[in-house]
Amino acid sequence: MKLLLQLLTLLLSTFNFSQNFKQAEIILENDSKIVGFVFYNSPYHTPQSFIFKNSETGIEKIYNKNEIKRVTVNNYGEFVKSDVEISRHEESQIKMSYDGKFNLQKENLILEVLVKGTNKLYKYADDKNTAFFYSTNDNIIKPLLYKEYYSDNESTIIKNNQFRADLKSFSCKETSINFIKYSDSELIKFFQKANKCAGDTNQMIKSNFTKNYIKVLFAKNFSKEKYDIFDVESYTFGLEFEHNMPFFNNAVSIALVPHYTMFNSDEEKTQINFSDLKNQFEIALLLRYYPFNAKNYKIFLGLYAFDWLMSNYITRTVYAGNPLKNEKTSQLLIFNNIELGLRYKDFEIFGLLNISPNYLQRNQASIGLKYNIPFIK
């Protein structure tokens, strides 16, 4: 256990820089270009400043929006500054108004580029509003307007979908705007199709947008009963639903892991008392951290924060001639497994170590494979 903690500490310190700072190019207000590494940590919000280093060991310097025109982060995204009109209205249902009109204000903001091409899509988010913008051949960035507000009796929420009318100007037969929602995923799909209709084959979609994964997993487990002399052979099959959080450049994630384990022991049971685990179903909540988070290669560390186990046993008690009985148990474990793994593109190899053996004193380690299926939500 002590050795494992030392290994985790070493990995965190070794790869901390690569997680925090990404290679980037900054265009300043005077049109000069600087190349180096940037860091920004604005959970759910569009960054309005960036920490810059010209080298891995360089001195940190903060560039705010008054100094920046454009920031291109290699393999992660792009940000541009522009004077735009944004509707400043309450989005919280507690404070929502009864007025469907937009409150447009002109502001100088750094926007995140979601789609590049003939038709470009941008996003801005802060603690008050989330707004999308677009530009076409004239390169003038215009707002895509959307607002929710209450009807007179406050029992119904009405939606002002003005943005759909704006999208009509460059929609085509491949696109449908009648039911499109005001969200990252649906607007990105729309702009992608619109650009394809326009014959744009050189468009770019925000490279780090995919933040959700379904993973198919298989593992071979190595277990040993504390009070028995035989090993227990078992295999695990399951799924994992992972969502990457926007903290530290999407290097933190949370996952729900339902999985099924089959145990197999051919050892003849002659003990007066024994309990043999046959199968187990688990639903775990996994917290994961990517200390090294490159485009194709990732190293990850995980911790099972909660693990609900439902187990099926065959037992015999009192004397050896007693009939076998089936028993089912369930228990909730906290912080019971540590995960360490390596990912290459859509494939992962991982190891799992149990650090809090269950009440039957079963010590277990696992090694396995996962296949990642990305999807946009």
One domain, residues 156 and 247: no
Report whether pLDDT(201) > 50: yes
Per DSSP, the three-state class of 8 is: helix
In the predicted structure, residue 15 carries a pLDDT above the cut 50: no
**β-strands 147-150, 130-135 pairing:** unpaired
Per-residue pLDDT tens for 259-288?
Answer: 998 887 555 555 555 566 778 899 999 999
The mean-pLDDT minimum among 67-76, 218-227, 364-373 falls in 218-227
Contact call for residues 64 and 48 (beta carbons, < 8 A): yes
Q: Are residues 72 and 133 in the same domain?
A: yes
Q: Is the pLDDT of residue 215 over 60?
A: yes
Whether residue 26 is predicted with pLDDT greater than 90 in this model: the reply is yes
Residue 104 placed within a domain: yes
Q: State yes or no: pLDDT of 318 exceeds 70.
A: no
List the structure tokens of 186.
Answer: 């649906």
DSSP H or E segment with residue 45: none
Q: What count of other Cβ atoms lies within 10 Å of the Cβ of residue 134?
A: 24
Confidence at residue 202, expressed as pLDDT on a 0 to 100 scale: 63
Which of the listed residues 205, 222, 244 is the one where a domain comes to its end?
Answer: 205
Q: Both 196 and 221 in a single domain? A: no
Average pLDDT on 150-179 reads 84
**Which pLDDT value is given to residue 84?**
96
Let me know: does 163 contact 183? Beta carbons within 8 Å: no
Least reliable range by pLDDT among 66-70, 213-217, 228-232, 322-326:
228-232
Residue count (the chain): 377
**13 part of a folded domain:** no
Mean pLDDT within 37-61: 85
Residue 96 confidence (pLDDT): 86
Q: Is residue 6 part of a domain?
A: no
Q: Say if residue 17's pLDDT is above 60.
A: no
User: If you average pLDDT over every residue of the chain, what do you get?
Assistant: 82
Whether 4 has a pLDDT exceeding 50, the answer reads no
Which H helix or E strand runs over 15?
helix 2-20
Residue 42, pLDDT score: 67
- Residue ending a domain, among 189, 205, 221, is 205
323-359 per-position pLDDT tens digit: 666 778 888 989 889 999 999 888 999 999 988 755 4
- pLDDT of 238 over the 90 cut: yes
CB 249 within 8 A of CB 39: yes
**What is the pLDDT, as a whole number, of residue 206?**
61
Q: Is residue 62 part of a domain?
A: yes
Residue 107 in any domain: the answer is: yes
Q: Are residues 243 and 216 located together in one domain of the fold?
A: yes
According to DSSP, residue 127 is labeled: S
CATH number of the domain to which 330 belongs: 2.40.160.20
279 and 188 fall within a common domain: no
Residue 41 has pLDDT above 90, yes or no: no
Number of structural domains the chain divides into: 2
Domain co-membership, 256 together with 109: no
Does position 11 have pLDDT exceeding 60, yes or no? no
In the predicted structure, residue 12 carries a pLDDT above the cut 70: no
Pick the more confident residue, 3 or 73. Answer: 73
Do 271 and 188 share a domain, yes or no?
A: no
Identify the pLDDT of residue 247: 65
Could you give the dihedral angle defined by the CA atoms of residues 181, 184, 186 and 189, in that order, rounded to the nearest 10 degrees? 160
Average pLDDT over residues 34-59: 86
Using the 3D structure, point to which of 175, 205, 235 is the last residue of a domain.
Answer: 205
Q: Is residue 236 part of a domain?
A: yes
Domain carrying residue 161:
20-205
pLDDT at residue 7, as a whole number = 47
Same domain, 252 and 198: no
- In this predicted model, which residue has the larger pLDDT, 361 or 92? 92
| Residues 166 and 119 reside in one and the same domain | yes
Q: Pick the range with the lowest mean pLDDT from 90-99, 301-310, 352-361.
A: 352-361
* 333 and 193 belong to one structural domain: no
Q: What is the rounded average pLDDT of the residues 302-316?
A: 83
Regarding whether 291 and 200 lie in a shared domain, the answer is no
% of the chain at pLDDT higher than 70? 77
Q: Identify residue 53 by its one-letter amino acid code.
A: K
Q: Tell me: do 179 and 305 sit in the same domain.
A: no
Evaluate if residue 110 carries a pLDDT over 80: yes
Task: Determine, yes or no, domain membership for 15.
Answer: no
Q: Confirm whether 14 is domain-assigned.
A: no
| pTM metric for this prediction | 0.63
